[in-house]
């Protein structure tokens, strides 16, 4: 078993790292301050192949594999967590089509998604049910040659900016989870509207919003797969998406460690840099250990995405659980090393501290990840 990155993966890391440092990092604070979605960045990501880096070339992707995708998300998030979140949300939408759509639908929607012409959004969560997907209230009723959608989704990343929305709704309310189906809804469809926009603690440039369907009519051929396929598809997509969040956690943790190392070398206390003190050294060592363990397991979980037919829910949950909670420990220590300055907005670590918190919540809370892993252990 080879734990080293291939030459291609190393090259991708350098390319994305250089781009992130030169283009994304300088605007990260401004996006946060102004709650601004970086529309101009999407085309740049596409030009580098990052909108479809792991997907086959036949759909306009790069075909570089899922480890390369994890590396890209990691490096982007290290520079700007908001952009990392925008990209992982896009992948949730494209994964829904890649795993569940017909060949014709893939060609129609994935190609512009990977070339940067279309940004995707994934519409699953509702006001009364995040983890409890089967309780969703959004409905899709077939009337002649159209489905009519009614309902509201919340916390939808890229809402209002995306061109293509993958929407999960109940086509049969009596069947619970087995009555859920998935649909493609294009941005300008009558009956589709958005809320006022969320005012979040962190990753503020990754705009989230309500997505509202009011007698929203779409062609019946916009269903992804067959009626009733939606729940199974959503769970597959969320499993894969958790690896993206794990990669985000690794990238944000690395950024926090880099800030802490740099500050510890510059901050003078009692006539020497605080990096000379064993208490600081041990904190840095603990942070590094957490990052390297999380990075390696995330790459392992990512590699399983490329194994056809492999159900990676346990590994994905372990990756997200460990890396997201490790990122909490790492950012906490980084702020502590900064002391009072870590509490000031003038320092990058303050933003990282706020950006980190969502990593333990979206794509399933830490408690949900423990449920998934324990169910595998107990055979439920």
Residues 247-292 have pLDDT tens digits of 999 999 999 999 999 999 999 999 999 999 999 999 999 999 999 9
Residues 316-334 have pLDDT tens digits of 999 999 999 999 999 999 9
Alpha-carbon 175 to chain mean position? 30
The pLDDT value given to residue 108: 97
Reported as a pLDDT band with limits 50, 70 and 90, residue 128 is: confident
Q: Looking at the chain, which runs of residues are DSSP E strands? A: 120-123, 139-143, 146-157, 164-170, 180-186, 192-194, 208-219, 223-224, 268-269, 272-273
- Nearest-5° angle of CA 182, CA 186, CA 190? 105
Cβ–Cβ contacts within 10 Å for residue 13, how many? 16
Regarding predicted confidence, which is higher, 128 or 323?
A: 323
pLDDT of 129 above 90? no
The pLDDT value given to residue 85: 98
Reported as a pLDDT band with limits 50, 70 and 90, residue 131 is: confident
Collapsed DSSP state (helix, strand, coil) of residue 129? strand
The pLDDT value given to residue 294: 98
Domains in the chain, start-ordered, CATH in brackets?
Answer: 7-119 (1.10.540.10), 121-228 (2.40.110.10), 231-378 (1.20.140.10)
Percentage of the residues of the chain whose pLDDT score is greater than 90:
97
- Orientation of helix 366-378 relative to helix 313-338, angle to 10°: 140
Backbone angles phi, psi at 166, to 5 degrees: -95, 115
Report the C-alpha gap between 36 and 43 in whole angstroms: 16
For 214: left if phi > 0, alpha if psi spans -120 to 50, otherwise beta; the answer is beta
Helices within 51-182 (DSSP H only)? 66-79, 81-100, 103-115
- Nearest-5° angle of CA 222, CA 223, CA 224? 115
Residues 40-78 have pLDDT tens digits of 999 999 999 999 999 999 999 999 999 999 999 999 999
Report the C-alpha gap between 354 and 261 in whole angstroms: 19
The pLDDT value given to residue 161: 98
Reported as a pLDDT band with limits 50, 70 and 90, residue 337 is: very high
Mean pLDDT of 347-360: 98
Sign for the pseudo-dihedral over CA of 212, 32, 48, 71: negative
For 155: left if phi > 0, alpha if psi spans -120 to 50, otherwise beta; the answer is left
Which active-site residues does the annotation give?
A: 363
In Å, what is the CA distance from 56 to each residue of 37, 114, 207, 341? Answer: 28, 10, 28, 46
pLDDT of 130 above 90? no
Report the C-alpha gap between 41 and 309 in whole angstroms: 34
Cβ–Cβ contacts within 10 Å for residue 351, how many? 22
Q: What is the mean pLDDT of the chain?
A: 97
Mean pLDDT of 200-204: 98
Percentage of the residues of the chain whose pLDDT score is greater than 70:
100
Residues 252 and 77: beta-carbon distance below 8 Å: yes
Mean pLDDT of 226-248: 97
């Amino acid at each position: 078993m080879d734990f080293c990155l291939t030459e291609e993966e190393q090259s991708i890391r350098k390319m994305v790292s250089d781009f992130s440092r030169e283009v994304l990092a300088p605007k990260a604070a401004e996006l946060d301050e102004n709650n601004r979605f970086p529309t101009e960045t999407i085309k740049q990501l596409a030009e580098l192949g990052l909108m479809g880096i792991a997907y086959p070339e036949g759909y306009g992707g790069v075909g570089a594999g899922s480890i390369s995708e994890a590396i890209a998300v990691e490096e982007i998030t290290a520079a700007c967590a908001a952009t990392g979140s925008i990209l992982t949300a896009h992948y949730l939408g494209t994964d829904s089509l890649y795993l569940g759509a017909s060949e014709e639908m893939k060609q129609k929607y994935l190609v512009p998604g990977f070339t940067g012409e279309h940004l995707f959004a994934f519409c699953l969560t509702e006001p009364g049910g995040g983890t409890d997907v089967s309780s969703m209230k959004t409905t899709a009723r077939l009337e002649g040659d159209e489905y009519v959608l009614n309902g509201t989704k919340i916390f939808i990343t890229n809402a209002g900016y995306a061109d293509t929305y993958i929407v999960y709704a109940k086509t049969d309310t009596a069947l619970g989870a087995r009555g859920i189906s998935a649909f493609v809804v294009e941005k300008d469809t009558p009956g589709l509207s958005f809320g006022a926009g969320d005012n979040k603690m962190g990753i503020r440039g990754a705009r989230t919003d309500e997505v509202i369907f009011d007698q929203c009519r779409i062609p019946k051929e916009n269903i992804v797969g067959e009626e009733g396929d939606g729940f199974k598809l959503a769970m597959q997509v969320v499993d894969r998406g958790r690896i993206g969040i794990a990669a985000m956690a690794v990238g944000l943790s690395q950024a926090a460690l880099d800030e802490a190392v740099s500050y510890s070398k510059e901050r003078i206390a009692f006539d020497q840099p605080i990096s000379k003190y064993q208490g600081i050294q041990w904190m840095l060592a603990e942070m590094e250990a957490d990052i390297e363990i999380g990075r390696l397991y995330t790459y392992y979980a990512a590699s399983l995405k490329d194994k056809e037919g492999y159900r990676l829910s346990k590994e994905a949950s372990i990756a997200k659980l460990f890396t997201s909670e490790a990122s909490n420990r790492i950012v906490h220590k980084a702020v502590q090393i900064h002391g009072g300055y870590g509490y000031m907005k003038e320092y990058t670590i303050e933003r990282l501290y706020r950006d980190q918190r969502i990593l333990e919540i979206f794509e399933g809370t830490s408690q949900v990840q423990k449920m998934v892993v324990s169910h595998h252990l107990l055979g439920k």
